[in-house]
Structure 1
Amino acid sequence: MIELHLIGIGTGNPDHLTAQAVAAMNNADLILLPRKGAAKSDLIDLRRGICAAVLTAPVQVAEFDLPARSDDPAYLDAVHDWHDAIAATWCAQIAEHLPDGGRLAMLVWGDPSLYDSTLRIAERLKGAGLDVAVRVVPGITSIQALTAAHAIPLNRLAGSVTITTGRMLRERGWPEGAGTIVVMLDSGGAFEVLEPQGISIWWGAYLGMTHEALEQGALAEAGPRIAARRADLRARHGWIMDVYLMRKEQADGA
């Protein structure tokens, strides 16, 4: 039996971990940390730093190379193949480090339930014949970190919120009937497809980290500023994690 704990770690700041997350890490027999190549070495360093900051028990920590996703234009097919490859890699790590079973922990950015596929990959372990019980430890999402950084509420009074992706925004534009939207997993500048009049944006990158970057304002003025700053940050760090919230003005101007 493998007891798989998927632990939300927020945006990489050890202060974002809950007491439940710290306990789950210290009760694990093994923590697996993925390496994503030299260009994203900061990501593995952040996970190492979290382990160094909170582990007080002699927990085994092992690192592995995460398979790369294909650039195949058939997006969903490429993602399914990628998830299969990751699941196979996890199986190999489990066979090497936990051959007799035990408690395995994986550190997941943000929260495992929101635009993250770790839970879907975990299901593949059962299909591979492993006896796996999945436990989820919720974490602070990038959306929470974004609204906190800007000191704004997520929703308008009695209003709804639509959460979408950069790819969906590019393909379909502003979601019908939405007043507030949050855009995640944007490879860059999806907001540029919108007519900016009457839209405000709140953007954040590396939220909760020492090099956190924030911008806000009317989309017409802030959009180009965000695009330029995002490109500069990505070139400087080799990777970027960002998220943004946009609102349309209401008829009364609010």
Structure 2
Amino acid sequence: MIALDLIGIGTGNPEHVTLAAIRAMAGADLILLPRKGSDKSDLADLRRQICETHLPDLSRVVEFDLPVRDASGAYLDGVNDWHDAIAQTWKAQIDARLPQGGRVALLVWGDPSLYDSTLRIAARLGITPRVVPGVTSLSVLTAAHAIPLNDLGAPVIITTGRRLRDEGWPAGADAVAVMLDQGGAFTHIAPDGVTIWWGAYLGMAQEALISGPLDAVAQEIIDTRAALRARHGWIMDIYLLRR
């Protein structure tokens, strides 16, 4: 029988890994680390660094290559097909390495419940996992800027860059947290009276932060983001908008 742990590991800083996460990692018979291609090799390196920091024995840590998503068709269809392929890749690794069963762990950036599909992929295999929560990029963003997420009694909408670009400012929201932006979705909203708090590589050594009135700092964020992506080959960023 296979048991599965989905372990939130924060945003890349080994000090953000919780005691519960370390305990779950130590109790796993197999820890699978996905590789997402050479342009994101730093991500695999960070997962390895987290394992090296918190585990005395790395013999149970195995890396594998993730399938590549086909971006040529409809977005949701492509993502669902990709998740099917990932589920089968997990199964192949587990069957090959734990034929008699055991406990498998996957290390998930941030928290497995917030804009991450690991839970949906696990469901494709008919496995109900144990989830170990992690520090999220959203909480690290607000901590880095030393701001509260919301004003007193005010709502916050968490959405994606794609939806902000296509649909504009969400109705009824005083503040909008934007994740999974390919870059510059905030240029598709009216900037008047809007403040932005932006962060990239949160919790990592290369962390970058910019904040201010949107109309004053939007271009600086776009330029900084492009330069950082060119330097590192990948970027993970998030921002909070408030008006």
Instruction: Specify the TM-score bucket, using the shorter chain as the normaliser.
Output: over 0.9
- Pick one of 142, 150, 167 that aligns with 1:172: 167
Structure 1 residue ranges (4+ consecutive) displaced by more than 3 angstroms after TM superposition: none
1:160-239 → structure 2 map (5 Å cutoff)? 160-239=155-234
Residue 242 of structure 2: aligned partner: 247
Pairing 1:1-254 to 2, within 5 Å after superposition: 1-57=1-57, 60-126=60-126, 132-248=127-243
Question: Residues of 1 paired with 2:59 and 2:114: CA distance?
Answer: 27
| Stretch deviating more after TM superposition (59-68 or 23-32) | 59-68
2 CA distance for matches of 1:172 and 1:73?
A: 21
SS for the counterpart of 2:129 is strand
User: Contact between 2:160 and 2:179, CA under 8 Å: does it hold in 1?
Assistant: yes
- The question of whether the paired residues in 1 share the 8 Å contact of 2:122 and 2:128 is answered with no
Q: CA RMSD in A?
A: 0.9
What amino acid does structure 2 have at the position aligned with 1:197?
A: D
Query: 2:51, 2:58 within 8 Å by CA — same for their partners in 1?
Result: no
Helix, strand or coil for the counterpart of 1:48? Answer: helix
CA distance in 2, matches of 1:64, 1:24: 20
TM-fit CA distance, 1:71 = 1.1
Pairwise CA distance, 1:177:
1.4
Structure 2 residue runs without a partner (length 5+) = none
Amino acid at match of 2:122: A
- TM superposition shift of 1:57: 4.7
TM-score (norm: length of structure 2): 0.98
Contact 2:52 2:58 in 1 (8 A): no
3-state secondary structure, aligned to 1:107:
strand
What is the rounded CA distance, in whole Å, between the counterparts of 1:56 and 1:179 in structure 2? 47
Residue aligned with 2:172, SS = coil
Gaps of 5+ in 1: 127-131, 249-254
1:43 Cα deviation after fit: 0.4
TM-score between the two structures when normalised by the length of structure 1: 0.94
Q: Which residue of 2 aligns with 1:251?
A: none
Structure 2 counterpart of 1:93, one-letter code:
Q
SS in 2 for 1:234: helix
Contact residue 207 and residue 213 of structure 1 kept, 8 A: yes
User: Using the alignment, how far apart are the partners of 1:13 and 1:157 within structure 2?
Assistant: 30
Aligned pairs, how many? Answer: 243
Post-superposition Cα deviations, 1:100-152, rounded to whole Å, max 9, x if no partner, equal: 110100000000000000000000111xxxxx341000000100000000000
Mapped to 2, the partners of 1:75 and 1:184 lie a distance apart of: 17
